[in-house]
Amino acid sequence: MGSANAASDFDRGRRIGKYEILTRLSMGGMAELYLAFLPGPGGFKKFVAVKQILPDVKRDEAFVKMFLDEARITAAFSHANIGQVFDLGEDGGELYLAMEFIAGQNLEQVLKRASKRELPIPIGFAARVVRDTALALHYAHHFTDPSTGQAMPVVHRDVSPKNVMITYSGDVKVIDFGIAKAKGRLNRTQVGIVKGTSGYMAPEQVKNEPLDGRSDLFATAVMLHEMLCGERLFTAPTDAGMMLKIVEFEAPSPSQVNQYVSDAFSAVL
The pLDDT mean for the chain works out to: 85
Average pLDDT over residues 168-186: 74
Which residue in 162, 159, 158 sits closest to 110, CA to CA? 162
Measured CA to CA, the distance from residue 63 to residue 177 in angstroms comes to 14
The model's pLDDT over 70-124, given as tens digits with 9 standing for 90+, comes to: 778 788 899 999 999 888 888 877 788 899 999 999 999 999 999 999 999 999 9
Per-residue pLDDT at 52 exceeds 90 = no
b/e map of 8-43 (b: 16 or more CB within 10 Å)? beebeeeebbebbbbebbeeeebbbbbbbbbeeeee
**Cα separation, 95 vs 53, whole angstroms:** 6
> What amino acid positions are annotated as catalytic residues?
158
Q: What is the pLDDT of residue 188?
A: 46
Architecture of the 104-268 domain: Orthogonal Bundle (1.10)
Q: What mean pLDDT comes out for the span 113-139? A: 96
Mean pLDDT of 224-240: 90
Nearest CA to 194 out of 158, 241, 248, 238 is that of 158
Percent of the chain with pLDDT over 70: 89
Query: CA 237, CA 255: separation in Å to the nearest integer?
Result: 27
> What is the average per-residue pLDDT within 184-203?
62
Section 151-159 average pLDDT: 89
Over range 25-29, report the average pLDDT: 77
Per-residue confidence (pLDDT) for residue 56, from 0 to 100: 72
Give the integer Cα–Cα distance in Å for 259 and 261.
6
- pLDDT at position 191: 45
To which CATH superfamily is domain 2-100 assigned? Phosphorylase Kinase; domain 1 (3.30.200.20)
Q: How far apart are CA 214 and CA 219, in angstroms?
A: 9
* pLDDT value of position 192: 46
Average confidence (pLDDT) over 195-214 = 84
Domain assignments of the chain as residue spans, ordered by start: 2-100, 104-268
